[in-house]
Amino acid sequence: RGITRRELLAGSLVGVAIFLGYGLQATGMESIASSKSAFITALYVPLVPILQWAVVRRRPHIMAWVGIGFAFAGLLLLAGPDGTSLGLGRGEVLTLIATVAIAAEILLVGGFAGKVIERMGGVPQNIPGGEIYQALEKGTIDAAEWIGPYDDLKLGFNKVAPFYYYPGWWEGSLNLEFYVNQKALDGLSAENKAIVRAAAHEAHVTTQARYDARNPGALKQLVAAKTKVVPFPQTVLDASFKSTMELYADLDKSNPEWKKIYADYRNFQRDQILWFRFAESRFDSFMSSQKL
């Protein structure tokens, strides 16, 4: 089965958004400080609900508007430090355009990533994180996926969605990404390059380690609050895997770059699954059955 026009359009739009987002951000950083670039780029968070309102007519919740107001107030303070003018230079303008593109990418990827759910008969909705609770409470959506017990507990999702299903087959783990302008990186000394790589490594490893340390306690609190933690039925896991493989097969036929990258990724994954069967899986299964 070949790729549909909708999938071709979605893939093209995502590609354009990624190119504009990270390309313009990198270009903008040539003339503005990295701290200012980071702040402006972070505005994609409040921009997502605005774009969603413009595109799908879903009005942001009142708290989203509050966040949007604070974010843009911060931009004004950064752009006009004397408090009387708004001076946006070339770097700031390029970074703002990049920010809009990144926000658009999130909406596009959210819609495209829901293809597996669609194939299984679901109707995926891309909703800003700050509006998930209200959507669940009002019955606008039936279920939501977020990050994990630690964050879910803080947001109180269990108060409006008491069933907590696992495993999160659509997102097995987290991965932090750190983009650096290639020209700027090449201009660094070997020592500073090592510092950048060490900082990126530290951020990823530390973030994952902190979640690993905090999630068990949060899961206990969710259970204590009468949250029903249940596994997905085997039939659901089988159906999700089948739908995912069908989607990947379609992409293999229509996208040579995808096929090349995915084939290498899948071969590596097969070897890792084989290794972990011996390295950790059996041991984890044994320890889970023991009383400590």
Q: Look at residue 79 and tell me whether its pLDDT is greater than 60.
A: no
Between 44 and 240, name the one with better pLDDT.
240
Of 16-20, 28-32, 62-66, 118-122, the poorest mean pLDDT is in 62-66
Cα distance between residue 99 and residue 38, in whole Å: 10
**pLDDT average, residue stretch 28-51:** 76
Rounded to the nearest integer, the mean pLDDT of the chain is: 82
pLDDT per residue over 242-265, tens digit each?
998 998 898 888 888 888 889 999
**pLDDT average, residue stretch 33-40:** 76
Residues whose CB falls within 8 Å of the CB of residue 146, separated by 6 or more in sequence, listed in order:
129, 132, 152, 155, 157
Between 63 and 154, name the one with better pLDDT.
154
C-alpha torsion 255→257→260→263, nearest 10: -60
Residue 32 DSSP one-character state: S
Q: What are 217-223's contacts with CB under 8 Å, separation 24+?
A: 218/148, 218/149, 218/150, 218/152, 218/153, 219/149, 221/153, 222/149, 222/152, 222/153, 222/158, 222/164
Instruction: Provide the 3-class DSSP secondary structure of residue 1.
Output: coil
| Model pLDDT, residue 1 | 46
- How sure is the predictor about 42, in pLDDT bands with cuts at 50, 70 and 90? confident
**Token digits of residue 164:** 């907590």
Residue 281 DSSP one-character state: I
Residues whose CB falls within 8 Å of the CB of residue 229, separated by 6 or more in sequence, listed in order:
164, 166, 219, 222, 223
Cα distance between residue 276 and residue 270, in whole Å: 10
**What's the one-letter identity of residue 10?**
A
The most confident of the ranges 95-99, 122-126, 212-216 is: 212-216
| Model pLDDT, residue 141 | 81
Q: What Rg value do the Cα atoms of the chain yield, rounded?
A: 22
Q: What is the pTM of this model?
A: 0.63
| Model pLDDT, residue 7 | 63
Of 20-29, 190-199, 222-231, the poorest mean pLDDT is in 20-29
**What's the one-letter identity of residue 218?**
A
pLDDT per residue over 131-167, tens digit each?
788 778 878 788 888 889 999 999 899 999 999 999 9
Q: Look at residue 23 and tell me whether its pLDDT is greater than 70.
A: yes
Residue 271 DSSP one-character state: H
**Token digits of residue 116:** 């597996």
Which residues, listed in sequence order, are joined to residue 230 by a DSSP beta bridge? 165
**CA–centroid distance for 286 within its chain:** 33
Cα distance between residue 143 and residue 161, in whole Å: 7
**pLDDT average, residue stretch 89-100:** 85
What percentage of the chain carries pLDDT values higher than 90?
Answer: 32
Evaluate whether 216 touches 223 at the Cβ level (below 8 Å): no
